[in-house]
Structure formats: C-alpha cells, structure tokens
Amino acid sequence: MVTESFLTLPQLELPSKGGSITVTAPSNIALVKYWGKSQGQIPRNASISFTLSNCFTKTTLGFTPFSEQSKAGQEMVNDLDDSNFEVFVDGLSKPDFAPKIATFFNRIEAYLPWIRSFQWRIDTENTFPHGSGIASSASGFAALAGALMELENSWSLDPLPPELWAQKTSFLARLGSGSASRSVLGPLMYWGTHPALPASSDLFACILDQEVHAVFIDYKDTILLVDQGEKEVSSTLGHNLMHDHPFANQRFDQAQDNLGKLLAVLACGDTHEFCRIVETEALSLHAMMMTSNPSYLLMKPNTLAIIEKVRIFRRANNVPVCFTLDAGANVHLLYPAKFTPQVMPWIQNELSGHCQAGQFIEDQVGQGVKKV
C-alpha cells in the first residue's frame, strides 16, 4: 500500500446544507514505543499499543457549505487556515489550537479535497482532566480523522468497507499525531513495518489480528497522575532530538526486537515476560530523553518512587502488574483484570500518596473510534 492509493478519491455527493457529526476516540498506551520519525510522520521503528476505553475525546464536527456563507464565490487562499475552521474545547473558543489544526488540514487536504468546500466548527471535549499530563493529541486527532471519514463515507456513492475505512482513518490520524494512528481500532494496534507482521505499514496502524491470549483482552490500565503540569519538552521536540542521537539506531533495533518478542508473549499469555518487555520499553524511551543533546528528564521523584514500589509489590505478591510511561511523569499500571481486588487497595493505600492531589484514573483496554 502506498500513499498514492489514498489519493484515489471516491465519488461524492456533497450536501447543499450544513450539518454535524459526533464521534469519540480513545487514547492509547504504547507497549513498544514510537520515538523518532522521518519526514512525513514516518516512524523509525514499529510500535504497538493497547487502545484505552475511559480516556477519550468526543468531537462534534459541524460543517457549513461555503455556498451558504458570506464567503461564497471568494477566491480560495492557498493554505487552509483558521478562516476555514473554529475550534472549541469544552464550549470555549480556543484560537491557540488553530495552528495545529491548520497544519493537519493542510496535510490531509490531498486525501480529502472536499474539506475546502466547507466552513468547519470543531467542538471537542476530553473525559480526562485538562493538564492531567495525558496527551490529548492521540485521541483528539483520531476523533477528528474519524469524524471526517464518517462524513466522507456517508456522502460517498461507493462507501469504503470497514477495513479500508479504518485504514484511511488511521492514515489521516497519523498526519495529525503519529500515535493517533493507533487509536482507531482496539484492543491492540500496531504501526510501522515489522518483518513479523506482513500487513504492517509505516502509513497506518492495523489491528492485531493474530491469536491474543484471553488474559490480555480485559487488561487494566490505572493511570497515576504524578504531575499534571504542562510537559516541559514537547513530543515534537523529543522526536527531533532522535535525529542526531548517539543511540538512535540501537534504540530502533531494540524496539523492533521487543515487538517481535511481545507478539509471542501476547499469543501465549506469559504476563511476567510481558512485564519485562513493557518496563524495558518505558525506561528506554526515557533513557533516550536523558541522553539526548540537550538532555532532559520528564520523570519526577514520585515517578521513581512508584516504579520501585511496583517492582517490590510484584516480587512479594507474584502479581503481574507492571508500569509503563509515555512522554511525561505519569505512570500507567498495567495488570490483568482478575488481579484488581489485590491491586486496587495497594494503589489506594500505597501509591495514590505519590499522585498529585491523590488522583488516578481507572481505565482498561477498549475498541477505538465510535460514531455517537
């Protein structure tokens, strides 16, 4: 599959009146991390994630044909910009989000040329608290891509079947934020070419359709909110620092290798090996940040305190609970649902004290983009 195949545009019957569509898209947590990319949002290694359930973005996309607008007949400008859309978060206008959305619209225009024919209103809200340190870009761009693709399919004379719909949605979401490509379906999605995954692509994520052991089907992710401030270094900058990183190639090889091993673990249900791989991946991601030039640290003392306690608890109780981290200080605790009665009191009594205002979010694996 090449980019050009998404340029085959469907025949559409565009509406003459305005309307809206609402979709939800969840966040995801990577088990093997994507960190480092080439031009055009192409990952330097393959990654795989659990799609989440409770942490999601709900986006209502309103459209008004330009013919209904005072702008009718005006010459279109070259770049799409904030005269083509408005962004609202929790009902409040957010002009500061406009540059990111404008970049996204300009990147996807070749694949959805009809976006020029409308004035857009993007109303979005997240179930997780603002500034909780949980990245809203994965769920946000998956929701926006999902809403646009719902519209395209509803206007198409030859709608895409579900598999191709998901592929194009993931392809578009990737152009907003790489990890967003993995929020389209669930419970497990991989993205980036990998020799063990013949369907894998750098251009879109795929649902893992190999045999997955039952233990992983209802995995829990309890997110410990260690630091709810703005990230000190953005993901964009972090990815860029991988260009001249002395350990970049070893890191990309390690990720490819870990993904191969994880596929076997997901099939056989070896939760202890799962913990080993997932924790190595989390610490390698942060090791890349700590050894970048300039170096930086996103973990906080409470992140490390939790990591230590996780390892002690796992050894003492033989419970396969492990930690992972995204590009921030928060800790995701992953464990099979059947261990919740043992894990939850420990989180409440021992770990919540390391969280800001004692806060954590209970989540679990989920299914991806949904039309409301």
List residues near ligand PMV by CB under 6 A: 30, 33-35, 47, 135, 137, 177-179, 235, 239, 285, 326-327
Cβ of residue 19: shortest distance to ligand PMV, in angstroms?
Answer: 30
Q: Between residues 119 and 200, which has the closer beta carbon with respect to ligand PMV?
A: 200
Q: What tokens were used for 295?
A: 């170096």
Q: Between residues 118 and 191, which has the closer beta carbon with respect to ligand PMV?
A: 191
In angstroms, rounded to a whole number, what is the distance separating the alpha carbons of residues 127 and 139?
A: 10
Cβ of residue 314: shortest distance to ligand PMV, in angstroms?
Answer: 23
HSE-up (13 A, CA, CB side) for residue 337: 9
Q: What tokens were used for 107?
A: 């990147």
Cβ of residue 167: shortest distance to ligand PMV, in angstroms?
Answer: 18
In angstroms, rounded to a whole number, what is the distance separating the alpha carbons of residues 283 and 115?
A: 41
Q: Between residues 251 and 313, which has the closer beta carbon with respect to ligand PMV?
A: 251
Q: Between residues 33 and 168, which has the closer beta carbon with respect to ligand PMV?
A: 33
Q: What tokens were used for 11?
A: 């025949």
Instruction: Name the nearest CA neighbour of 346 among 312, 302, 304, 299.
Output: 312
**For helices 248-268 and 271-290, angle between their N-to-C axes, nearest 10 degrees:** 160
Cβ of residue 49: shortest distance to ligand PMV, in angstroms?
Answer: 6
Cβ of residue 32: shortest distance to ligand PMV, in angstroms?
Answer: 8
Reported as type and span, the H/E element at residue 51 is strand 47-65
In angstroms, rounded to a whole number, what is the distance separating the alpha carbons of residues 334 and 306?
A: 13
Q: Between residues 29 and 215, which has the closer beta carbon with respect to ligand PMV?
A: 29
CB atoms within 10 A of CB 211: 8
Contacts of residues 73-82 at CB distance under 8 Å and 24 or more positions apart, as own/partner, are 76/116, 79/106, 80/105, 80/106, 80/109, 80/115, 80/116
Q: Between residues 45 and 84, which has the closer beta carbon with respect to ligand PMV?
A: 45
Q: Coil, strand, or helix at residue 299?
A: coil
Contact 210, 267 (CB under 8 A): yes
Contact 294, 339 (CB under 8 A): no
Q: Coil, strand, or helix at residue 108?
A: helix
Cβ of residue 50: shortest distance to ligand PMV, in angstroms?
Answer: 11
Cβ of residue 316: shortest distance to ligand PMV, in angstroms?
Answer: 30
Q: Between residues 282 and 321, which has the closer beta carbon with respect to ligand PMV?
A: 282
Q: Between residues 74 and 236, which has the closer beta carbon with respect to ligand PMV?
A: 236
Cβ of residue 252: shortest distance to ligand PMV, in angstroms?
Answer: 13
Instruction: Name the nearest CA neighbour of 258 among 36, 48, 3, 17.
Output: 48
